[in-house]
Amino acid sequence: MFRQILAGSRYLIIIAVIGSFLASITVLVYGGVTVVGIMVETFTHSVFTPAGARQLAVECIELIDLFLLGTVLYIVALGLYDLFIDDRLPTPKWLVISSLDDLKEKIISVIIVLLAVNFLVFVVTWDGNVNIVALGIAVGLVVFALGYLLSTTYKAHRTESTDETEGK
């Protein structure tokens, strides 16, 4: 009986799947509406100057950040669903998730890009008040640590795959 309860409890992950999926939809729709708003603002009220172009570039970079966040939330929803609920979910080859390590690799990869985009926004809007070098070093260290974690996870995953292939 307890075994059946534990086996069925995996479906509690559906709460995280639904939450991640709804958050993804919210962020992506917000980003889409923001794109429309930026377009309307740009072509109706904007004066075409280098300062206006810079402002548009910053807004577009921030949109990339928003869409990447939506993508991370979507990948989490798909990955958790695939791992805990139904592994027959059709996904592209690059999004095949067979373990929590696979999901972690995908999330870390997108987080690295998110950090880089956030730092780029900061650099473009930098007004000279904050020590940008310290921030750059901090972001660089986090990216390095995540990259190292990603590479060690990838190496371990490849070693497991090679061991399984050789055993057959």
What's the whole-model pTM score?
A: 0.78
Alpha helix locations (H) across the chain?
2-9, 13-45, 50-80, 100-124, 132-167
Q: 81, 17 in Cβ contact below 8 A?
A: yes
Ordered by start, the domain boundaries in the chain are 2-167
Instruction: List Cβ neighbours of 85 (8 Å cut-off, separation of 6 or more).
Output: 10, 11, 13, 14, 17
Q: What is the pLDDT along the chain (168 residues), one digit of tens a residue?
A: 888 888 888 899 999 999 999 999 999 999 999 999 999 998 888 678 888 888 888 899 889 989 999 999 999 999 999 999 988 888 888 888 888 888 888 888 888 988 988 888 888 888 888 788 988 999 999 999 999 988 887 777 667 666 665 655
